[in-house]
Structure 1
Amino acid sequence: MGVLRARCALRWGSPWRRSFTEANLAGTTLAFLVVMSIHYPKSFFKLLSAGFLLAVLPLVIGLLIDTVAIGRLATQSQRAVYDAARVSHATRELSETASSLERAAQQSVVLHDAALWDSYRVLHERFVAAGAQLHALPLETPMQAELDALLEREQQLHAALLEAGMQAPLAVELAKRHADIADSAHQLLGRSSGAIDREVESLRSLAEQTESRVKAQLFMLLPFSIFVVAGFTYLLAKPIAQLEQGIRDLGERRFDARIEVSGPDDLEQLGRQLDWLRLRLVQLEEQKSRFLRHISHELKTPLTALREGSDLLAEEVAGPLCAQQREIVRILRQNSLDLQRLIESLLRHGEAEFQQVPLKLQPLKPREIIAGVVEKQKLAMVARDVKLQLQLDDFVMCTDGERFRIVFDNLLSNAIKFSPDGGTVSVSVRKTGSQALLEVGDEGPGVAAAEREHLFDPFYQGQAMAGGVVKGSGLGLSIAMEHVLTLGGQIDVGIGRGQFTVKLPLNL
């Protein structure tokens, strides 16, 4: 039937809709290729927004198309149900009126009852009205033709019956022919029910087609959106990776490679700023190298005089020396030799980081290295009347002896400087499990809580006043920390009086 004549006017899979979807995908793809091949946007935010838009836009357009299609399908379904209900009601009204018309016609001509005759004429008018109402509804063409034929036959039969009159012998035959009219009306009612069933099946098939096309569109748009997301992920990740690599190079002191970032203008500007920082660090490194060379060269002049003076004293050129004076001269001469060795090492390695020197692990006894350092520091302790308390366990560990010596030498020198005159410095070394524990303490004021965070920073000096005639440079604890970390250990600062604890692996 024609209940859903309009349902085919705009189906989901109509050619214009498919063309629109294909054009949308083609346009989005073209835009993506333009972004990929021409240039980056001017800002990272614009690039991020463009990627989000290109990834979401096809899905949004597809969703809108599906929403419109499903909405129109729902509207058509509602209209179909409404029209089907009206057709069903009108055909049923026509069938019932035809049955009543048949009874009234036969009874009126058999009984020659005027009241029944008037009822027949009223039912005829009702039948005509029901037929006109049904004729106004959207019916299938065969059903429309059948209805027209039925109304025409009934009109001819009614006219013939009125012309003959209810008492004419022909009236009985004419009244019996109303049964054919009732049968045709019943057949029309059955056809309308079948047509409704067909329309329901058609709506179900159309809904399945819509569902299939929605799934097909989803399967088509999702890979495209994933492709767009992957492309923009690459565009976003590339400059970020270049920035990360540049920062890593700066952190690892690789200043030879230029930092270049290809991407949005703001990220490229950030890359240029990092490259400027690289050049600035190169200049600072060169300045540091020149400073080390100059200061090392300048230190050699007074050191030469110190060496010559100690040698003359040792040779008793200025007169004979007593035993205590010879011990002092020996200590001066030994320390001047150590200072000369350090300056020459500074000249050789002024431009290299200490971490670049490989470790030289070897079995050794910590107490022997500690004893050698204590011997070198004896003159400083005598000058301050500082007493030394030693608790040295006899054990073997595998470590870099030179680094261990520098760590202890800096900690002991620091303890002597901050001990009060006549104070006591305690040194202990022992084995605890798989570690060697070195503790150096003094009776000085200790480290203030506000200074603990920066205590191991290069050139940092706290508020506490150090004793001795030579002012410290603030490098001792920083150097000690670097060596301890290189050896795989840790160094801790005690609370209260000066107390440093070094933990080193035994490596056995």
Structure 2
Amino acid sequence: MPTLTKPTFRQLLLLAFVLAAALLSATSLRALSILEQTAVQSRSLSDAAVRQTEAVERLNERTQLFERSLRQFLVLDDASFLLRARQSHQDATEAVQWLAANAGGDAALATSLRDWTRLGETVGAALGRDLLRDRGLQATVFEQIVRLRSLNEQIAQESRHELERRNDALLDELDRERRNIAVMVAVAIGAAALIALALAGWLARPLAQIEAAIHRLGEGRLEAPIAVRRGPADLRRLGVQLDWLRLRLAELDADKARFVSHVSHELKTPLASLREGVALLEDEVPGVLNTGQREVVDILANNVAALQRQIEDLLRYHAMHFSARALVRVPIDLQALIASVIEAQRLQWQALALTVGVEGGAPAFDGDADKLGAVIGNLLSNAIRFSPRGGAIRFVLARTDGATMLDCIDQGPGVADADAARIFQPFVQGERQPGGARRGSGLGLSIVSEYLAAHGGRIVLLPSAKGAHFRIELPDESTETT
């Protein structure tokens, strides 16, 4: 056997799984990384928004407190109010500095913060005892405070705009990453599909070869060698093993054929001598026979004829058993086939004054006409043999989903319950035999079962109040399993 160095089916399957898992894992890890980064950015933006909002609110509060403390100082001439005003001014200035350092990305906001810083320095420089005596300076300071309040509103509005801009930027980034993840997932799925298609393409041809080889083996066509030339190493080894099985089956078939041929020859030769001897006795060649001798000769003649029939039935069953596996499928009109079989056995059923008919209908069926004809012929001859004089035999055709049904119904004694489970086995004869008729070989129904099994069908015995009711089920070729 040549060394097979190609990868095995297991190795290919494992490789495909690893590649697909690696692609999907990489995509998943990338998606998790992006989601983590987005979550971090979102938390950072949320914290910054909270701190920036707090700074803007603190700026407004300190500005209001500064103005109120300054007015109280001018009215009450209390230095503590001036100290409080200076502290409020310092807190407001620090809030502006924090906003300039942490939220100055927007140009308009940065400009407003610089304006506030310059104006705040001017106001801070004017805070002193001279402010009590200089009315003009007081008017100037409060005008500047009004401007500071206006700048506060402007800073608050521009701060909101800055937060909205940063939030929109984050959403845009998230949407861009979402599209990237979608592309990565699509690429991963496409790559996995390509890997699956490549593996399927690599395996399709050898699997089809193996399936065809098994089908040929099942039909008994053993002449063509089996070889799987492409594909994984283990499937090629399977092809080698199937070819070994083909050779072994061919040897067994040859051995069986030789055995049957030898047995038939060994049995027929002495049987022919017995028949010739009995014929000589019947013709009274050795001498005139008395009544007792004539009875003995009749017994011998009947048993020799029965033995010859048994041998011929056995040989015929052997030939049918092997021919059942080889089918020649053609479209068959089952109604016409049943009618031709009924016509071929007209003399037998007319001799018993039987009525034989076909009911129902079904579309054409793809099957082996000779073998299905033998099936119907066996059922009909069996029904004729067991039917009472003047009885009726019915064939009923019907169609169901995916199968064709054929019922054969007679008015004979039927099948005993004890025989129902084994009636389709070779050489089994039921206990209810017609009186005065020659007993059969018990092979007819087993041959029917063999031929139907080759078509993927079956025959069953259905319960019946009177007579025997056999049903044949023939599946469509597309639904058969080989």
Q: How far did residue 406 of structure 1 move?
A: 12
Could you tell me the TM-score, scaled by structure 2's length? 0.66
Whether 1:257 and 2:224 are equivalent positions in the alignment is yes
From 274, 281, 290, the equivalent of 2:242 is 274
Distance change (3 Å), C-alpha of 1:405 and 1:85? closer
Report what 1:363 is aligned to.
Answer: 343
Whether 1:437 and 2:404 are equivalent positions in the alignment is no
From 247, 251, 264, the equivalent of 2:214 is 247
Q: Check conservation: 2:63, 2:92, Cα contact below 8 A.
A: yes
Within 2, Cα distance between the matches of 1:242 and 1:357?
20
Q: Check conservation: 2:216, 2:222, Cα contact below 8 A.
A: yes
Alignment coverage as a number of residue pairs? 415
Distance change (3 Å), C-alpha of 1:300 and 1:277? same
Equivalent runs, 1:58-457 vs 2, <5 Å: 58-105=23-70, 108-109=73-74, 112-140=77-105, 142=107, 143-144=109-110, 146-162=112-128, 164=130, 166-168=132-134, 171-176=137-142, 177-261=144-228, 262-321=230-289, 329=297, 353=322, 355=324, 361=341, 363=343, 368=348, 393-395=353-355, 404=378, 428=388, 430-434=391-395, 435=408, 437=410, 457=425
Q: Deviations over 1:418-474 (max 9, x none)?
A: xxxxxxxx98574243346385899xxx9978xx76675558999x9xxxxxxx9xx
Q: How far did residue 349 of structure 1 move?
A: 11
Q: Which amino acid aligns with 1:162?
A: G
Report what 1:388 is aligned to.
Answer: none
Within 2, Cα distance between the matches of 1:396 and 1:145?
111
Within 2, Cα distance between the matches of 1:326 and 1:233?
78
Identity of paired residues, percent?
28
Q: Deviations over 1:232-282 (max 9, x none)?
A: 344455544443333222211111233334544444444333322221111
From 12, 19, 24, the equivalent of 1:54 is 19
Within 2, Cα distance between the matches of 1:370 and 1:205?
94
Mean Cα deviation higher: 289-298 or 355-364: 355-364
Q: How far did residue 156 of structure 1 move?
A: 4.1
Does the residue aligned with 2:8 lie in a helix, a strand or coil?
Answer: coil
Within 1, Cα distance between the matches of 2:292 and 2:354?
31
Within 2, Cα distance between the matches of 1:301 and 1:102?
140
Does the residue aligned with 2:102 lie in a helix, a strand or coil?
Answer: coil
Q: Deviations over 1:174-197 (max 9, x none)?
A: 523333333333322221122223
Distance change (3 Å), C-alpha of 1:181 and 1:456? closer
Does the residue aligned with 2:128 lie in a helix, a strand or coil?
Answer: helix
Q: Which amino acid aligns with 2:259?
A: F
Distance change (3 Å), C-alpha of 1:407 and 1:259? farther
Mean Cα deviation higher: 344-353 or 231-240: 344-353
Distance change (3 Å), C-alpha of 1:200 and 1:493? closer
Q: How far did residue 313 of structure 1 move?
A: 1.8
Point out where structure 2 has 5 or more consecutive residues left out of the alignment.
329-336, 359-372, 396-407, 432-438, 473-482
Q: Which amino acid aligns with 2:125?
A: A
Could you tell me the TM-score, scaled by structure 1's length? 0.63
Q: Check conservation: 2:462, 2:471, Cα contact below 8 A.
A: no
Does the residue aligned with 2:225 lie in a helix, a strand or coil?
Answer: coil
Q: Check conservation: 1:100, 1:123, Cα contact below 8 A.
A: yes
Report what 2:403 is aligned to.
Answer: none
Within 2, Cα distance between the matches of 1:104 and 1:305?
147
Q: Deviations over 1:68-111 (max 9, x none)?
A: 21332232122112212211221221133223324444553466
Does the residue aligned with 1:166 lie in a helix, a strand or coil?
Answer: helix
Distance change (3 Å), C-alpha of 1:123 and 1:493? closer
Mean Cα deviation higher: 82-91 or 233-242: 233-242
Within 2, Cα distance between the matches of 1:366 and 1:503?
21
Q: Check conservation: 1:303, 1:340, Cα contact below 8 A.
A: yes
Q: How far did residue 39 of structure 1 move?
A: 8.0
Q: Check conservation: 2:282, 2:297, Cα contact below 8 A.
A: yes
Within 1, Cα distance between the matches of 2:127 and 2:243?
111
Distance change (3 Å), C-alpha of 1:259 and 1:492? same
Distance change (3 Å), C-alpha of 1:267 and 1:78? same
Distance change (3 Å), C-alpha of 1:357 and 1:341? farther
Q: Check conservation: 2:275, 2:304, Cα contact below 8 A.
A: yes
Give the alignment's Cα RMSD to 1 decimal: 5.0
Q: Check conservation: 2:227, 2:239, Cα contact below 8 A.
A: yes
Distance change (3 Å), C-alpha of 1:297 and 1:93? same
Q: Check conservation: 1:40, 1:47, Cα contact below 8 A.
A: no
Does the residue aligned with 2:12 lie in a helix, a strand or coil?
Answer: helix
Within 2, Cα distance between the matches of 1:490 and 1:317?
52
Report what 2:434 is aligned to.
Answer: none
Within 1, Cα distance between the matches of 2:409 and 2:85?
124
Distance change (3 Å), C-alpha of 1:249 and 1:140? same
Q: Check conservation: 1:147, 1:188, Cα contact below 8 A.
A: yes
Report what 2:400 is aligned to.
Answer: none
Within 1, Cα distance between the matches of 2:99 and 2:256?
104
Q: How far did residue 121 of structure 1 move?
A: 2.2
Q: Deviations over 1:122-153 (max 9, x none)?
A: 32232233334434434316334542453344
Q: Which amino acid aligns with 1:228?
A: I
Within 2, Cα distance between the matches of 1:237 and 1:51?
15
Within 1, Cα distance between the matches of 2:106 and 2:85?
30
Q: Check conservation: 1:106, 1:175, Cα contact below 8 A.
A: no
Report what 1:35 is aligned to.
Answer: none
Mean Cα deviation higher: 111-120 or 189-198: 111-120
Distance change (3 Å), C-alpha of 1:338 and 1:169? closer
